[in-house]
Amino acid sequence: MAAVEYVGSEPVEDEWMHAAACKGLTHLFFPSSAERPQARERREATARQVCATCSVSRMCREFARLHHEYGFWGGESEDERHAAGYRLIAPIGVRARAG
């Protein structure tokens, strides 16, 4: 096995991801291109239900906040992370509504 060298960042602690309830459900946690607002609301409501049953949702939410992730993580949408003070480089939807 080859060694992996991390340049400019620390290795990510992601073992918790193996226990996530969302494994295999990527379509619920990340939008398709040109997703309409009503479809986003339905998708995120379903994702929120999955997160409510997940034993690692707190770690997931903290990971997304720390790493400025896009999508729905740990029961929290991009808009909710943004409102809580965790900024994305170019938040999907937030920038579009600001104009």
Residue 46 lies in a domain: no
**By residue range, what is the domain housing residue 81?**
56-99
Residue 90 lies in a domain: yes
What total number of domains does the chain contain? 1
Residue 87 lies in a domain: yes
- Per-residue model confidence (pLDDT) at position 88: 77
Residue type, 8: G
pTM recorded for the entire structure: 0.76
pLDDT tens, N- to C-terminus, the chain (99 residues): 455 454 555 556 788 999 999 999 999 999 998 999 999 999 999 999 999 999 999 999 999 999 999 999 999 999 999 899 998 766 555 544 444
Residue 49 lies in a domain: no
- Per-residue model confidence (pLDDT) at position 3: 54
Residue 15 lies in a domain: no
Distance, CA of 79 to CA of 85 (rounded, Å): 10
- Per-residue model confidence (pLDDT) at position 13: 74
**Tokens 């997304």 -> residue:** 64
Residue 92 lies in a domain: yes
